[in-house]
Amino acid sequence: MAKRNEMTARLDLLWAEYERLRGEATLARTQMLSNRLTHTRKEAQLHEAEVEEADDQADYFAERVAETATATHVSQEHLAALEARVEGARSDLLVAQSEAVLGEFAAGLRDLALQATAMLAALESTAVHVRQASAWAEQLPATAVAPRDAAAAAMELYIALEALLHDLIDEAGRGQQVASE
């Protein structure tokens, strides 16, 4: 139970970090788009000043275009770095979720193997009765078909259930190995 609580706490922390980073990336994307829009507006204003041959305005807007180009470039780099961190946090979260699910799967298989072992023990305790019924059926006259058939069917069912439970225990063990790798 403590391990499950630790895993839940770890998943909660990873989820919170992922959400925090996504929020930062959204803000960074908004800032980058705003910078890009401002840059485009300044380029348009520079072009207008050049067309009107207003050199003093053209110089002013040329400086603003350079400033906004730098701001846009910086915000694009910042966004790219944040998006990489978001993807890393997402990967960490998915790995942790997979580990948690596989841990639960392995625990379920352990429980299943224990239950199958208990069922096998219970089945083996009935084996004495099935063998005794078969032995008594063999002593009956050949005309007592129904009791002989019933004893044979009980023995077949016992053998099939025993094989099935052994297979279930073996498969649960293999499943536990796979889940723990």
Neighbours of 143 (CB within 10 A): 7
pLDDT, residue 62, reads: 92
CB burial readout 122-133, b (16+ within 10 A) else e: ebeeeeeebeeb
Q: What 3-state DSSP class applies to 99? A: helix
Q: Residue 140 is encoded by which pair of tokens?
A: 């009956």
Residue 11 identity: L
- CA 86 – CA 10 distance, rounded (Å): 17
Residues 6 or more apart in contact with residue 161 via CB below 8 angstroms = 123
pLDDT, residue 77, reads: 97
pLDDT tens for 61-108 read: 999 999 999 999 999 999 999 999 999 999 999 999 998 888 888 888
pLDDT, residue 33, reads: 96
- CA 109 – CA 36 distance, rounded (Å): 56
CA atoms within 13 A on the CB side of 123: 19
pLDDT along the chain (181 residues), means of 10: 81 94 96 96 92 88 94 96 97 93 87 90 88 87 87 90 90 81 72
In the chain, domain spans: 2-180
- 179 with 106: CB under 8 angstroms? yes
pLDDT, residue 1, reads: 64
